[in-house]
Structure 1
Amino acid sequence: MKFTRVFAFMALAGLAGSAFATNGYFSHGYGMKAKGMAGAATTNTDDAFGGANNPAAMAFAGNRLDLGVDLFSPRREASMSVPGVSVKSDSNYFLIPEFGYTHQMSNDLALGVTVVGNGGMNTNYPTNLYGGNGKLGIDLMQLIVAPTVAYKVAPNHSIGISPLLGYQRFKAEGLVNPNTGTPIPNAGYDDSFGYGVRVGYLGKITPTVTIGAAYASKMNFDEFSKYNWLFLENGDFDIPENYNLGASWQATSALRLALDYQRINYSGVKAVGAAPSAGGFGYDDVNVVKLGAEYKLNSAWTLRAGYSHTNNPIKGATATECGAGSVNCGEVTTNILAPAVIKDHATLGFTYTLASGNELTMAYMHAFENDVSGYNGNSGGTDTIRMYQDSLGVQYSWKM
């Protein structure tokens, strides 16, 4: 009964405000322990977020329930040199819930579920830079449910699989027809459902070295029928395929170091990967490197820190480059709607273990300010998009 109620809460909360975009429209990590280590979680076996990180890890997680929420604050700004205007987006605070549960069915078999929010292509500019009616902005919310099966194929090696079930909701307002410059009537919210799969492997190679890998297919969603004019392929907006590789080293009895590599293939989703001239947002594929450290101070306190770096999915182009036919021409102007220009994150976190064995975990993230500028072929000026972010999250975990 407790599990059912918590799951229902997470589903409703997730639909209310999933807006965590920091590596494109992916979060920097899932689960507060991962977020405290900049998302380096491919080999993490002490929470129930394997469905979002590495399904195989849940074979070693035991019986537990993790419930968390993040207060996420992205600060977005856009400017146009012609006509000389700069505006900051409103809607600066979002609550992002997440949930994980795992149960050890036997020594080798574990079943569980992970529920997380994704998305974050959210802007709300009080001044319409495109010249349309009213405010300018878009709102994308995504909820991903990942039931998980993990199995130990040997005492120190496991595999796992998580079918991915998704729901997303989208709205755009204040847009204009790029050919005529006339305002487009607001269509309100539209939603769609999708599916995919994540598979993973985890191996404890030595008593101090663990390796892991996970692959997630593209999540195929129904089309946004109200926005078949905005997204390519009749309103198709999918979550791109991605994979991660990781290794961790128990350097001492107290200190563990983790290194992850993540690849997100935005080019496989035409709505975001195609060039603006072809009707897309022009996102490049990204490579993310995550480094995390975990230090067990004593039996009650565990401290964490991390840093991650990624290449920018959005590129700018000068007037000369646009004249030469650069594929990056128009990307900045288009992505005023979704200025996903973050490259670097620093994180801190801790877990406090109570006398009952239950855990209280917190994580803080700062995404350093970055901006990208590019030529605007309509105005003849230069457009700039800029963003920085902060988040503070808390998670309570029940050991069962």
Structure 2
Amino acid sequence: MPCNRFITALLLILIAWPNLSWATNGYFQHGIGVKEQGLGGAAIAYPQSALSVATNPAAAATLGRQFDIGLNWFTPHRSADNGDGSGYHKSECANFIIPQLGYNHPLNTKLSFAFAAYANGGMKTDWPYSFFGTTETYSELEQMVIAPTLAINLNRKHALGLSINYIRQTFEARGLQGFAPATPSGTTAYLTDGGEDVSTGWGLRIGYSGQLAPALRIGAFWQPRTKMSAFDDYQELFAEGGELDIPETFGLGLAVDLSEKLTLATDLVKICYSDIPALSNFNTVGTDLLGTDNGPGFGWRDITVAKLGVAYRYSPALTLRIGWNHGENPVRSSQTAMNVLSPATIEDHLTLGFSWSFSANSDLSMAYWHGFENEIRGNFVAANGADAADIKMYQDSISLAWSWSFD
């Protein structure tokens, strides 16, 4: 029965893949798993569901046999003003449904196997306006991760975990005809309106979990840069011939039981966007050609993300959660031109959540979070002659998840 549920849910994830889109800490999710999202994304040292292995693979060693499936309704509100006097334009496509699932299975007292499928991140804009060409501007980046995981208990208090990540990302852009003179070919052939292109790659994530005292837990993870195949249909848009690798990330976490009912969890995470030329190269259109090794990019910088969450076990059936997530803004004010395609401006999130146990083996969880509006005002020279751009965004999301325990 658990196997049938898992296979059915996995098929639903794969079918729903074309509709995935996300953006919050840069283009990464603020948290993976509905229970984790209610805590501001804090999960490195405080695993709450089988999806915690997406953050820290060592979590598999601390969880029992369980299955989690969830859906996120996500609505980002994006606006951009290119300074031509027409004011702010609002992006369309404001609603997204994003599925996720996880399964954890202890094999014996030493080893545990887990599996997670989730949206790592992404960004979508659909502007009813032509910023860079002759047609309306559109861009969409989506990333999905399938992560089989193995964790080992070194002893009663310490565990290590390893996830082998299969990552599939898609990208599409339209309405960038104005950049054609800045490409090696001088055409739009590999720049825009190429339809949806697919890039894939394999990576890994390593995690550690430790119990330092009865009420104190720590955790850590590291995910090196993941090499992805190039977007061949957009090789004259992204630097290095269409390459868009997944940046290195690492983090530390701490969880403290303040009482029998109250737990505080906090994470500190670094996302190394500056290592990815397509993301970090400055917008040098007019000096360097798009798609080359030093070609123009989005000018993103590394960011540090702080996550803080509190869980209160009100009763055996009800757990309440609240959290805060603060991430630095990767977009520089001098680099707003290209970031009309990816207005990742959000810095602060407030999160709320709860779980209700229907029995000893199942519970329903819900989370709500709000990404507070943040505006970046900048200057640039666009292909259509405009000389300034301001971008802003705020976000709302509601998530639901069902969890089954088989222990």
Query: Which of 54, 59, 62 is equivalent to 1:60?
Result: 62
Query: Post-superposition shift, 1:244?
Result: 1.2
Contact 2:82–2:386 (Cα < 8 Å) also in 1:
no
Query: Post-superposition shift, 1:380?
Result: 6.4
Contact 1:51–1:198 (Cα < 8 Å) also in 2:
no
* 3-state DSSP of counterpart to 1:51: helix
Of 262-271 and 374-383, deviating more is 374-383
Contact 1:72–1:391 (Cα < 8 Å) also in 2:
yes
Identity %: 36
Query: Post-superposition shift, 1:315?
Result: 1.1
Judged with a 3 Å threshold, the aligned counterparts in structure 2 of structure 1 residues 70 and 380 are, in CA distance, closer, same or farther, namely closer
**CA distance in structure 1 between the partners assigned to 2:250 and 2:45 by the alignment:** 14
- TM-score (ref. length: structure 2): 0.92
Q: Which residue of 1 aligns with 2:390?
A: 384
Question: Which letter maps to 1:365?
Answer: W
Judged with a 3 Å threshold, the aligned counterparts in structure 2 of structure 1 residues 219 and 373 are, in CA distance, closer, same or farther, namely same
Mapping of residues 92-111 of structure 1, within 5 Å: 92-111=94-113
Question: Where do 5+ consecutive residues of structure 2 fail to align?
Answer: 285-294
- The reply to whether residue 374 of structure 1 matches residue 378 of structure 2 is yes
Query: Post-superposition shift, 1:179?
Result: 6.3
Query: Post-superposition shift, 1:256?
Result: 0.1
Q: Deviations over 1:285-314 (max 9, x none)?
A: 000000100000000000000001111100
Q: Which residue of 1 aligns with 2:312?
A: 295
Question: Which letter maps to 1:382?
Answer: A
Query: Which of 6, 10, 20 is equivalent to 2:9?
Result: 6
Q: Which residue of 2 aligns with 1:156?
A: 157
* 3-state DSSP of counterpart to 1:288: strand
Q: Which residue of 2 aligns with 1:213?
A: 220
Query: Post-superposition shift, 1:62?
Result: 0.4
Contact 2:283–2:337 (Cα < 8 Å) also in 1:
no
Q: Which residue of 1 aligns with 2:141?
A: 140
- The reply to whether residue 271 of structure 1 matches residue 272 of structure 2 is no
Query: Post-superposition shift, 1:83?
Result: 4.3
Mapping of residues 1-400 of structure 1, within 5 Å: 1-13=4-16, 15-130=17-132, 132-178=133-179, 180=181, 184=188, 186-277=193-284, 278-317=295-334, 331-378=335-382, 379=385, 381-400=387-406
Question: Where do 5+ consecutive residues of structure 1 fail to align?
Answer: 318-330
**CA distance in structure 1 between the partners assigned to 2:42 and 2:330 by the alignment:** 20
- TM-score (ref. length: structure 1): 0.93
Contact 1:25–1:119 (Cα < 8 Å) also in 2:
yes
**CA distance in structure 2 between the partners assigned to 1:338 and 1:129 by the alignment:** 13
Contact 2:46–2:217 (Cα < 8 Å) also in 1:
no
Query: Post-superposition shift, 1:11?
Result: 2.1
Q: Which residue of 2 aligns with 1:328?
A: none
Of 360-369 and 132-141, deviating more is 132-141
Question: Which letter maps to 2:305?
Answer: V
Of 84-93 and 377-386, deviating more is 377-386
**CA distance in structure 2 between the partners assigned to 1:56 and 1:197 by the alignment:** 13
**CA distance in structure 2 between the partners assigned to 1:109 and 1:232 by the alignment:** 42
Query: Post-superposition shift, 1:85?
Result: 3.5
Query: Post-superposition shift, 1:356?
Result: 4.6
Question: Which letter maps to 1:384?
Answer: D
Query: Post-superposition shift, 1:77?
Result: 0.2
Of 114-123 and 382-391, deviating more is 114-123
Contact 1:164–1:219 (Cα < 8 Å) also in 2:
no
**CA distance in structure 2 between the partners assigned to 1:8 and 1:21 by the alignment:** 24
Contact 1:174–1:183 (Cα < 8 Å) also in 2:
no
